[in-house]
Structure 1
Amino acid sequence: MNAQDERFMRSALKLAEKGLGSVEPNPAVGCVIVKAGQVIGKGYHKKFGGPHAEIHAIADCATLGVRPEGATMYVTLEPCCHFGKTGPCTQAIIDAKIAKVVVAVGDPSAHASGRGLDQLRQAGIEVEVGLCEQEARLLNAPFFKYISTGRCWVVLKWAQSIDGKLAYVDQSTEKRWITNELSRADAHRLRRRCGAVVVGINTVLADDPMLTPRPSKGKKPIRVVLDGSLRIPLKSRLLRTTKTSPVLVCTRKAAAEANAKHVERIRKRGAEVLVCDSPGETTDLHFLLDHLSSQGIQQVLVEGGPHVLASFLREGLADEICVYIAPKILGADGVAFIGEPMTDLMQGIALDHVQIKTFGDDTCMRGLLADPSIQQSPSVEHGAAVEV
């Protein structure tokens, strides 16, 4: 592989990013077809249940009036070889008489796991795997973790001032937001990519949030409330909109037994009540994530306050951090992020693969607490199936 090959694969990766927020739980995939050093077709997986990236790229060749016969295809994930919501991409590649396929990373799913690569090779197509593999794994980190471990990917998200304050003490309307509209719009895009959004009961009592992505079109995540003492008001906007988007209230067994009538009323409003056998005053986060993972949810966004965020960090359950930083100093007018020791000061909590973007005057920093590039593709027997 040379610099030109890498350039084409990076172009495919950029295309794949366009599908984030629309294709989940499928992975985001991009594809570029090259002939005589020129791009003759490109495409990406646009929405769940729709044509895959390879199909769009082959169709793009026809739109440009160029035959893909003898061309090289660069694709960010192993082409599928099974019938799911769409037909097998491998057969479309074979029919298009593509001469060579360069794949960033293999698909560890039970229905793939190298079978697509084998099928292409058996058809006489040259196949190379591993170009920009780490970037491809990072792009679909939640997918790779879920397939490899059966556990969902957890993102902790918050907004703060430059002096580390998460909110104004005074929550009046004019002081509600720390960050600007551009940052908040990006946070809604992140929310749309996740299968569940988690907050604590204090956030519900203070803000009465909807927790749905805006604009409201498209898929909506499950809205989860950590409510160890079962204090969620029946008049909250969450419980009044369960038909619009599902709601799950996670509470302790002791609280559920002591407030059986309240549990019944919550369920009558259409919300699910998940009861965990937690000995303390808080809910069992491991139990909650196990439940969400069993429902096929690959990515969970935690938007709670200081206590909830600190709990996920302390339990070692976070995979990724996303923080929006506004150029403001709140001082005594602000609520501190984590006001308690988190770990040994000499160790700290380090982030890897840090990315920084600006949204107007705001800065967004994202980084990983777990490196998906070390996840190994499981055997067919251990791979979890994902509907595509």
Structure 2
Amino acid sequence: MTVHEAERRAMSRALELAARGPRGANPQVGAVILSPSGEILAEGWHHGAGTAHAEVDALSKLPGDAARGATAVVTLEPCNHTGRTGPCALALIDAGIARVIYALDDPGDVSGGGAERLRGAGVEVEAGEQADDARSLISDWLTAQRLGRPHITVKWAQSLDGRAAAADGTSQWITGPFARADVHRRRAAADAIIVGTGTMLADDPALTARDGDSPYDHQPVPVVIGSRETPADAAVRRHPHDVLFYETRDLHAVVADLHERGIQSAFVEGGPTLASAFISAGLADRVLAYVAPVLLGGDRLALTDVGVPTISAARRIVIDEWVPLGTDMLAIARLEDNEGVR
């Protein structure tokens, strides 16, 4: 089988439609139904958990047997299980769809297998059309599916000699405006931003993402970990999203709950204690270390105990990129023992 030009155009359109859907526990998926002559009959996308999947959303816009003999172009393999909604593979079969083009295989053990079911019912199936674009769109969701938790970035800023603050505890501003702007841009790309109660009480952060004085359209959900009370008048309580408070030191439990809430990517921006705890727990998939050309000395280290009792146990990192940001440098890295996790 080959993919025809009309089907390629339909996949490009399906990807545009998919991007309209919300990020969350379910992937962003788009679908286009084509007539045998290549004309668009209907379009659909997934509007969020509990709503019709993209294929069913598109089919619902067609009367009677209008889909019989048609082609469905979908950004993700039609699902093969019953959750809040029924299996999309069966819906396509029942509608009389004759051909299905999809971009990516569904990675789920339960939800996957739709292509096989379609073929078993005599439907022609072609996989892989514009797979790279589809993968880019839902890369965070795919990673979260593989890990069973959000993809976690641990960020800190430090002096050249590895300090997070001066001897008196002051830390604003170690890095310059270009580095700070880069942090806010990366915050805006994350689903959640995580700090500890120590940072909350010391700095009273708003935990918003801002472009200069203007907030980004997308704001990460604020997460605060720790047993100390956050003041009623704290800046974070004015955040556009409700704050998620976790009075626990069990980071695995925290990220499991975030996963259940549909959080696909998390940005850890707490102080040295929290950053070190995530690294020690094996929950740092990416490290962002902003290094400023200053010397501070003292004992306010950017990291504390990361479970290294001796030099032979050192946590080796792989630097993927050095990024100059004004006079500062950003190291984008991953831990060797998390190799393969991006």
Which category of TM-score, normalised to the shorter sequence, fits these structures?
0.5 to 0.7
2:205 equivalent in structure 1: 209
Letter matched to residue 272 of structure 2:
P
CA contact (8 A) 2:36 2:70 kept: no
Correspondences of 1:130-209 after superposition (within 5 Å):
132=131, 135=135, 138-145=139-146, 151-158=148-155, 160=157, 163=160, 169=166, 170-171=170-171, 179-181=179-181, 183-190=183-190, 193-194=191-192, 197-209=193-205
| Larger relative contact order (Cα-Cα within 8 Å, sequence gap ≥ 6) | 1
Partner Cα separation in structure 1 for residue 15 and residue 322 of structure 2: 17
Partner Cα separation in structure 1 for residue 36 and residue 261 of structure 2: 47
Could you tell me which runs of 5 or more consecutive residues in structure 1 were left unpaired when the two chains were aligned.
251-273, 275-282, 374-388
Correspondences of 1:1-388 after superposition (within 5 Å):
15=16, 18=19, 22-31=22-31, 45=46, 47-54=48-55, 69-71=69-71, 73-79=73-79, 82=82, 84=84, 88-90=87-89, 93-94=92-93, 95=95, 97-102=97-102, 104-108=104-108, 110=110, 112-114=111-113, 116-128=114-126, 132=131, 135=135, 138-145=139-146, 151-158=148-155, 160=157, 163=160, 169=166, 170-171=170-171, 179-181=179-181, 183-190=183-190, 193-194=191-192, 197-211=193-207, 221=221, 223-227=223-227, 230=228, 232-235=229-232, 237=234, 245-250=242-247, 274=248, 283-289=249-255, 300-318=266-284, 320-321=285-286, 323=288, 329-332=292-295, 337-338=302-303, 344=312, 348-350=316-318, 365=332, 369=338, 371=340
Partner Cα separation in structure 1 for residue 39 and residue 163 of structure 2: 47
% identity of equivalent residues: 22
CA contact (8 A) 2:159 2:295 kept: no
Deviations 1:216-252 (A, max 9, x none): 988973622234xx3x4534517856996144242xx
Letter matched to residue 245 of structure 1:
D
Deviation at 1:171, TM superposition (A): 4.4
Letter matched to residue 314 of structure 1:
S
Deviates more, 1:217-226 or 1:151-160: 217-226
CA contact (8 A) 1:31 1:44 kept: yes
For the structure 1 residues 51 and 160, does the alpha-carbon distance in structure 2 shift closer, same or farther, using more than 3 Å as the test?
farther
**Partner secondary structure for residue 199 of structure 1:** strand
**Partner secondary structure for residue 332 of structure 1:** coil
The TM-score, its normalising length taken from structure 1, stands at 0.57
Deviation at 1:182, TM superposition (A): 5.8
The TM-score, its normalising length taken from structure 2, stands at 0.63
**Partner secondary structure for residue 198 of structure 2:** helix
Deviation at 1:348, TM superposition (A): 1.0
Deviation at 1:124, TM superposition (A): 2.0
For the structure 1 residues 371 and 123, does the alpha-carbon distance in structure 2 shift closer, same or farther, using more than 3 Å as the test?
same
Could you tell me which runs of 5 or more consecutive residues in structure 2 were left unpaired when the two chains were aligned.
none
Deviations 1:46-86 (A, max 9, x none): 54455544356779999xxx9895546252343355473x6
Partner Cα separation in structure 2 for residue 37 and residue 174 of structure 1: 62
**Partner secondary structure for residue 201 of structure 2:** helix
Deviations 1:101-128 (A, max 9, x none): 3352235264x342x3354234421235
Matched positions, count:
319
Partner Cα separation in structure 1 for residue 158 and residue 36 of structure 2: 52
CA contact (8 A) 1:104 1:130 kept: yes
C-alpha RMSD of matched pairs (Å)? 5.5
Partner Cα separation in structure 2 for residue 96 and residue 362 of structure 1: 57
Deviation at 1:350, TM superposition (A): 3.5
For the structure 1 residues 331 and 358, does the alpha-carbon distance in structure 2 shift closer, same or farther, using more than 3 Å as the test?
closer
